[in-house]
């Protein structure tokens, strides 16, 4: 039973690779996994136990990226002309990382040949749209029940993420679309809670949040959205695709963080109600 307005989502940790997709790829079984948010689903698998919904993508990001607009498509990838409503001009498409990605994280081309447009559109209709319908539904139900909903969109970033001025390499990046997708209070609670556990936390640089944060973060309507990017080197061996010795500690810290955040959110709601 849901006990908090917090909602969690992990759209990039899926690792169920369809056999036809593997056969169509020019990459090895290891190389094709470079885009995964390694084990983020396992890091946050505890949240239902504290009464928060957790929406997970089982399909891999290399197959379909739900953190994009529904039709951010590269016309060079497909065997037929794109429909007129497709967005073929976005920066993400230009970089090879549209709704149907052309490359994995290390800029390696995924496909040997052109992709069937019909098959690509089918992925959007049968997987993308149901995923977002589920997420939108959970957020609406949460807001209706608690008066607000707070989406935490969970991701991981490569340990090679570019350093910031002064050689700083963040442990965690909290993205709020430069102050537009969540209230300042919620952003502060998230950032301060993670910092208090000893992590070097940055805001919006180099990740301000993707389509999910932008699409659902509407503080004026009572729905807030934040993206959290965790440095993979903190908890995983990125080359071998296995958890490292610090995985248990990272997960324990996240349990502490989420538990305390839920308590702070509840306290804030109670205080607001009392003030009214």
pLDDT in tens, 210-254: 999 999 999 999 999 999 999 999 999 999 999 999 999 999 999
Query: In angstroms, rounded to a whole number, what is the distance separating the alpha carbons of residues 276 and 177?
Result: 30
Q: Quick check: 216 and 135 in contact, CB under 8 A?
A: yes
Q: How buried is 44 (Cβ within 10 angstroms: 0-12 exposed, 13-18 middle, 19+ buried)?
A: buried
Q: Among 179-183, 202-206, 268-272, which stretch is predicted with the lowest mean pLDDT?
A: 268-272
Q: Which residue has the tokens 């936390």?
A: 201
Question: In percent, how much of the chain has pLDDT > 70?
Answer: 96
CA–CA gap between residue 165 and residue 57 (Å, rounded): 34
Report CA dihedral (179, 183, 189, 192) to the nearest 10 degrees.
20
Whole-Å CA distances, 6 to 62, 97, 260: 28, 29, 12
Give 44's pLDDT tier (boundaries 50, 70, 90). Answer: very high
Q: Which helix (H) or strand (E) holds 242?
A: strand 242-243
């Amino acid at each position: 039973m849901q006990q908090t307005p917090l909602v969690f989502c992990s759209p990039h940790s899926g690792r169920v690779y369809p056999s036809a997709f593997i056969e169509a790829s020019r990459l090895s079984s290891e190389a094709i996994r470079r885009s995964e948010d390694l084990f983020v689903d396992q890091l946050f698998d505890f949240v239902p136990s504290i009464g928060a919904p957790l929406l997970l993508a089982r399909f891999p990001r290399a197959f379909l990226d739900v953190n994009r607009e529904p039709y951010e498509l590269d016309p060079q990838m497909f065997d037929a002309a794109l429909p007129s409503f497709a967005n073929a001009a976005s920066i993400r498409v230009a970089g090879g990382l549209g709704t149907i990605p052309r490359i994995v994280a290390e800029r390696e081309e995924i496909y040997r040949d052109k992709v069937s447009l019909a098959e690509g559109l089918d992925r959007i209709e049968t997987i993308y749209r149901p995923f977002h319908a589920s997420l939108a539904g959970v957020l609406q139900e949460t807001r209706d029940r608690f008066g607000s909903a707070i989406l935490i969109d969970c991701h991981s970033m490569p340990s090679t993420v570019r350093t910031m001025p002064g050689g700083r390499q963040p442990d965690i990046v909290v993205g709020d679309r430069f102050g537009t997708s969540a209230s300042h209070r919620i952003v502060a609670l998230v950032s301060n809670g993670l910092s208090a556990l000893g992590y070097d936390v940055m805001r919006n640089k180099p990740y301000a949040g993707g389509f999910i944060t932008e699409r659902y973060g509407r503080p004026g309507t009572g729905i807030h959205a934040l993206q959290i990017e965790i440095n993979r080197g903190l908890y995983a061996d990125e080359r071998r695709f296995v958890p490292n010795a610090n995985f248990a500690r990272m997960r324990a810290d996240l349990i502490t963080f989420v538990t305390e955040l839920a308590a702070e959110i509840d306290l804030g709601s109670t205080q607001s109600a009392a003030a009214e």
